[in-house]
Structure 1
Amino acid sequence: MQPPTSPRPAGAPVHRLVPSPAGRTHLVEQGSGPLVLLLHGFPESWYSWRHQLPALAAAGYRAVAVDVRGYGRSSRPAGLDAYRVRELVADAVAVVEALGERTAVVVGHDWGSSVATNAALMRPDVFRAVAMLSVPYAPRGGPRPTSVFASMGGDEEFYVSYFQEPGRAEAEIEPDVRGWLAGFYAALSADTMPGPGAPSPHFTGPGGTLRERLPADRLPAWLTDTELDVFAGEFERAGLTGALARYRVMDRDWEDLAEYDGAPLTQPSLFIGGELDASTTWMADAIDAFPVTLPGLVSSHLLKGCGHWVQQERPEDTSRLLVDWLAALPPAAC
C-alpha cells in the first residue's frame, strides 16, 4: 500500500451524507488513493481526526472520518438495539460501499477502536487492516461486562456503570455541555489530569456526579476554545443519548459476539496508546497478549507523556506512525 513518492496536494475536506443502515452517515473526506476509514470515540466526533485528515491525504490516501451513528449529523435511531456493535459495523461497511470502494483500512480511537476491531473481525473481506488508538484489542470472553464494572471501585461507582441508566448522565451533562466536555477532556489529558492522590475522575462517590471530579479551571494544551466550541456545538444539537448508548449495550454486544469468543485478529494491525492513559494501564494484560491476540501486529507504541486523546494530544506523532504503517502494508491491504 505504498503512497506516492512525493506528497500530493491534499485539497480541502469535503462534507458528505451517505446512506447507511442508520439512515444516513455524515462523513468528512480528504484526499485520494487507498481508503482509510477513521472512527472516533466518546465524547467526540469526526472532528477529532482534523489533524490526520490532511496528513493522510498529503501522503496519498483517501482519508474519511465519520460521525458514528448517534453523533453529530449522522442519524440517531431510537432504541438501544440500534447501537449494538454489529449495527455500527454495518454502517462502516455501508460507508465503504457508498464511496465506491470494496475494501478499506479501518482506524479507531476509544470506542472507535472497539468498533474497528470488531469490523475487522466480522468483515475481513472489507477491512483488510486495523489500527487501534488508546484501547487495545481484547477478545470477547469472561463474565458480562456490566458485572465486571459493577465490582470495581468498592464504595465508589465506575464511570461505565454510572452511564448505564438512561437519562442519568444526560441530566448531568446536557445543562452545560461545553463545561462538562472541557472538564472531561482535561481529566484524561496528560497535562491537565488530576495529580497523584487526587480523587479519580473515573469514579463517583455515593450520590455524586462525575463532574465533581473533573478539572474546572483549565483546558489541555491540545484544545483551543474554538475547537471546544465545535465539539460542544455538535452535542448541544444532537444530545448525548445516542453517544451514551454504546455503554448501555455492552452486555448485548457480549451476547452477539459469542461466536468470536477468544478469537485472534489476524489482519495487519497497529496499536498507539498514551503512556499516561488509564486505558493502557488498566488493559496492560491485553497489550501483553498481543503476540497471541494480534498475530498480524506490525508495531505497538506507547507515547511518553501522552494521555487518552492520542491523535489530538500528539497529532504529528500519530499521523507519522499511521502513514509509516500504511506505507508498509502489502497491496492486499489496500
Structure 2
Amino acid sequence: MPQSTTAAQRTHRLVPSPAGRVHLVEQGTGPLVLLVHGFPESWYSWRHQLPALAAAGYRAVAVDVRGYGRSSRPADVAAYRMLDLVEDNAAVVRALGEESAVVVGHDWGATIAAHSALVRPDVFRAAALLGVPYTPPGGPRPSEVFAGMGGEGRDEFYVSYFQEPGRAEAEIEPDVRGWLAGFYAALSADAMPGPGDPGPHFTGPGGTLRERFPAGALPGWLDEAGLDVYAGEFERTGLTGALNRYRNMDRDWEDLARFAGAPLTVPSLFIGGALDASTTWLADAIKAFPDTLPGLSGTHLLDGCGHWVQQERPAEVNRLLTDWLAALPA
C-alpha cells in the first residue's frame, strides 16, 4: 500500500543514548519540540501532532521511550529510573544538533517531560503536560501510598499489580492485541466503565486487570490498523521494558529527594481529559498549579475526553499546542 503524504514526510532515525539508542520519528524544520509518549504506547501516539507541528514551523520529534519499540531495552529493572529517562531526552537533543527543546509529554511521558525540565532546565526550556498533572517530588514513599489504595474487598491498585516482574506480563503477553484493545477502550471517553465500576485501575483479589475491561468495539479514536501498529510493536518487544517504568517509583523518590517540593518554573501548559481518572484523582494537584507551575500559561480540561487526549481530540490539542508554542519566548 502506498504511503500517505504525511507518512512519507516522516523520517525514522536511531540516535545514540546512554542505554545505546533511541528511535525517533521526525517531521518539519524549526525550533525543536520533543514528544514523549506514555504507557502502553509508542511514537505513534503523536501521529496527529507531527504534521500539525511541522506545518506550524517546528521540528517535531516523537521518540520511543527506553524499553519501547526500536529504542534500547536494558535488562536491568533499575535502568528505567526517571533520571535515566531524562538523560535519554537530553541525549536526543544533542544528537539532533540542538542546544534546547520544548518537551511535550502524555501520561508517563508527561511526568518524564516535567522532570526533564525540572532536572535539566538548561536543555528543556518549556514543558507541556498532557493527561497527568505535575506533582513535585517528595511526600510519602510511593509504594506505601499505592499499597493503601485498594477498595472494597481489598482490590489491588494497578501500580502495585505491576511491581512484580513477570506478573503483569503473564496476563498481557498471551494476547497482546486483545489486551491493548481492552485497555485503550477502558480509559477512553466513549467506552470507559460507568459510575461505580472500578474499571481497569484495580484488580480483584487474585484477579487480572483484563477482567474489568469493557467488552465491545474499539474506541472511536483507534481503528484496526492503528491497533495493529501498537500490537505489532509489543508483540515483538514484550511489555517488560514498558512495565519497568512502574518498578522504579521508589528509586525515583530516592533519586529526586534533592528536588522535594520543587516547583517547575519553566513556561508550561496542561491539557487533560475531564473524564480521565488522572485529572479527577489528581484534582488537588491541578488546584496547586499556581504554586507548583508558576510558569503555567493555561490549564485546559477537555469536556467529554478520556485519557488518550491527543488521540481522542487531536484538532483541539494541536491548536492548544501551536498557540502556546507561538507565544513562548524565542
**Length-normalised TM-score, structure 1:** 0.95
Equivalent position to 1:40, from 16, 37, 42: 37
Query: Could you tell me how far 1:200 is from its partner in structure 2?
Result: 2.4
Matches for 1:311-326 after TM superposition, within 5 Å: 311-326=310-325
Matched, 1:125 2:122: yes
Partner residue in 2 for 1:194: 193
Partner residue in 1 for 2:271: 272
Task: Tell me the distance in 2 between the aligned counterparts of 1:88 and 1:159.
Answer: 22
Equivalent position to 1:113, from 110, 113, 128: 110
Query: Could you tell me how far 1:59 is from its partner in structure 2?
Result: 0.3
Write the letter of the residue equivalent to 1:35: L
Write the letter of the residue equivalent to 2:124: F
Write the letter of the residue equivalent to 1:140: P
Partner residue in 1 for 2:72: 75
Cα pair 1:10 1:31 within 8 Å, conserved = no
Query: Could you tell me how far 1:197 is from its partner in structure 2?
Result: 2.7
The CA deviation string for residues 38-96 of structure 1, in whole angstroms up to 9 with x for no partner, is 00000000000000000000000000000000000000011111100000011000000
Root mean square deviation of aligned Cα:
1.1
Query: Could you tell me how far 1:121 is from its partner in structure 2?
Result: 0.5
Cα pair 1:103 1:125 within 8 Å, conserved = yes
CA, structure 1 residues 319+196, in 2 after alignment: closer, same or farther (shift >3 Å)? Answer: same
Please list every run of 5 or more consecutive structure 1 residues that lacks an aligned counterpart in the other structure: 1-8
Task: Tell me the distance in 1 between the aligned counterparts of 2:99 and 2:123.
Answer: 6
Equivalent position to 2:24, from 6, 24, 27: 27
Equivalent position to 2:144, from 107, 131, 147: 147
Task: Tell me the distance in 1 between the aligned counterparts of 2:231 and 2:215.
Answer: 16
Q: Sequence identity of aligned pairs in percent?
A: 78
Partner residue in 2 for 1:215: 214
Task: Tell me the distance in 2 between the aligned counterparts of 1:166 and 1:18.
Answer: 29
Cα pair 2:192 2:199 within 8 Å, conserved = no
Question: Larger relative CO (CA 8 A, sep 6+): 1 or 2?
Answer: 1
Matched, 1:85 2:79: no
What SS does structure 1 have at the residue aligned with 2:245?
helix
The CA deviation string for residues 140-181 of structure 1, in whole angstroms up to 9 with x for no partner, is 121110100000023100000000000000000000000000
Task: Tell me the distance in 2 between the aligned counterparts of 1:262 and 1:296.
Answer: 16
Write the letter of the residue equivalent to 1:129: A
Partner residue in 2 for 1:5: none
Task: Tell me the distance in 2 between the aligned counterparts of 1:180 and 1:216.
Answer: 11
The CA deviation string for residues 230-251 of structure 1, in whole angstroms up to 9 with x for no partner, is 0000000011000000100000
Write the letter of the residue equivalent to 1:223: L
Task: Tell me the distance in 2 between the aligned counterparts of 1:197 and 1:132.
Answer: 28
Task: Tell me the distance in 2 between the aligned counterparts of 1:329 and 1:116.
Answer: 17
Please list every run of 5 or more consecutive structure 2 residues that lacks an aligned counterpart in the other structure: 1-5
